[in-house]
Chains A and B, each alone.
Chain A
Amino acid sequence: MNDRLSFYRKKNSPIHTLNPFTKLTLTLALIVIGIVGGGYWTASLAVCLAIAPLTIFSKLFGDYLRVAFRLILPTAGFMFVMQSIFIPGGVTELFRIGPFSIEVETVQRSYLIASRIFLMVSAFAFLLLTTHPSELMTDLTRRGLPPQFSYVLISTLQIIPQMQAKAQTIISAQRSRGLDTESSFMKRIGLLVPLVGPLVFGSLVEVEERAIAIEARGFTSTRVKTFLHDIPDTHMDKIIRWALLALIIVALASKIWLS
């Protein structure tokens, strides 16, 4: 569980040294262009021609494929199949499975939706693979995001594995006392309370002390924050960001005027 919480893979590549904000802009630009940028194949092309080369460039193509096959493809594929089968409205029938008719139009439509979801997730997977969450949050805080957001996101990512471990301990403890997840419906509802109770109350009572601890370290200080790590932001980064912004504008403009 623990390693799944952070996709980040440390590598020595030009992509890794880019400013996190540049990578975030790149991610958003890919999504916007892939979705509004006209054609039927745009989203798929954005994945093949932009995200795939970028991950190769960051020496993370293998990791990207693993993420894609484990997370994205099943979801997108399942939606594609379900939608092709169940959504009516097509004219040209392709073939029939029992009572369901599969039409060309619905398959096309499902493909479009599935490929866009695939693009969106691929773009974020690329961002998370090449950018450490704390680096991204530090950079965004430096740019004016309230520091509490950084705290809240990073500490959430750190608390969840502990909570899952606690949940696991509680489940195994109950299992050894004869908890049966296959028992009758009412029994399973009854099980919820002894499982949830210790988990929730245990973590809630900690809140007060944790608040005191971060207050004691100036969490609410009104002074101008400083940062331990220097996150470089080169001229190159700025040029890339402006270029991406221009691309987004072109894509949006062409969408408005050409359609």
Chain B
Amino acid sequence: MQTGFTNQDFINFLIVMAVLGVVFGWAYATKRMQKDFTTTTWVLIPVAVAINIAIGQLVLVLKLPVYLDSIGTVLVGVICGPWAGALTGALSNTVAGIIFDPGWWPWIPVAAAIGLTAGLCANASFFKTWWKVVVTGFLIALVATIVGSPIAVLLGGISASGSSLITAFLLQTGRGILESVLTTNFIVEPIDKISTSLLAFAILDGLSTRFLARFPHGENALLDQQRKTSELVIAVVIVVILVIVTNVFVVPLLNQ
């Protein structure tokens, strides 16, 4: 029988889904999830989904080489916690699947993982200065790649997005499908997710403390004192190091 993908690909997918499942199950069972869902959280989520979709469309109009369709997800993750962030991501893709193109549905776990990561980083006080936000953006990209690549492989590695051209090129050079997909994502994702995080940070910076206090984790977005130029330099250096480290160590490790 033809399955279109190897058993190993399917097992990779199952492992990633199982890890996500365990994380959410644990949070639910220990009531960590429930206390973040206040009424303001429930009201913010639809607004954040609408922000995701509206900005995603604006970016298309402006023909920028990024997606920026997770700003709302990151926003909710930071001020309402990881679980609300995950729900926002999942809901965004569900709704985008209904109104634009069902091709969004397979990526629901990725969108959820983005919100989750943003929330976990913010809870660890990693959304308070420019360079920390950059690191958070990078971690989000990393998680999105780890969750997304097995799904991309199951779908054949090539979708309707522009980045598939890179994957196609890598495939033609004789690389394996997982390696090609991973490499593509490592090129595209960090740029997109770091920009997304920085924009979310800029938005939170513009909101009043009084407004932020309405949300369960509003304090996550209160800034540390900082010197802006040196922070930016640190941020850039960290990005470069992170990119080198992952390309030298993580990619070969995953491909073994």
Contacts and interface: CB of A to CB of B under 8 A. Distances in A.
A and B touch in the complex (CB under 8 A): yes
Interface of A: 4-5, 7, 38-40, 71-72, 75, 78-79, 82-83, 85-88, 99-100, 108-110, 112-113, 117, 120-121, 124-125, 128, 148, 151-153, 155-157, 159-160, 162-164, 166-167, 171, 181, 185, 188-189, 191-192, 195-197, 199-201, 203-208, 210-211, 214-215, 219-220, 259
A210 B58 contact: no
Given A156-B45, A160-B95, A201 B174 contact: no
B95 A204 contact: no
A77 B248 CA distance: 37
Contact of A40 (B2, B39, B199): B2
B24 interface: no
Contacts of A87: 156-158, 171, 177
Contacts of B49: 156, 159-160
Contacts of A7: 98
B2 A109 contact: yes
A9 to B, nearest CB: 15
Contact of A163 (B51, B64, B174, B211): B51
A164 B58 CA distance: 10
A195 B159 CA distance: 29
A79 B4 contact: no
Contacts of A167: 54, 57-58
Q: How large is the interface on B (under 10, 10 to 19, 20 to 34, 35 or more residues)?
A: 35 or more
Nearest to A219: B39
B81 to A, nearest CB: 15
Interface in B159-207: 159-160, 164, 167-168, 171-172, 174, 177, 199, 203, 206-207
Interface string B216-248: 000000000000000000000000000000000
B63 to A, nearest CB: 7
Contacts of B47: 159, 203-204, 206-207
A86 B169 CA distance: 8
Given A201-B206, A214-B39, 15 more contacts: A71-B101, A75-B101, A83-B157, A112-B4, A117-B103, A160-B49, A163-B50, A163-B54, A167-B57, A181-B62, A201-B203, A204-B207, A206-B47, A207-B40, A210-B43
B90 to A, nearest CB: 11
Nearest to B65: A185
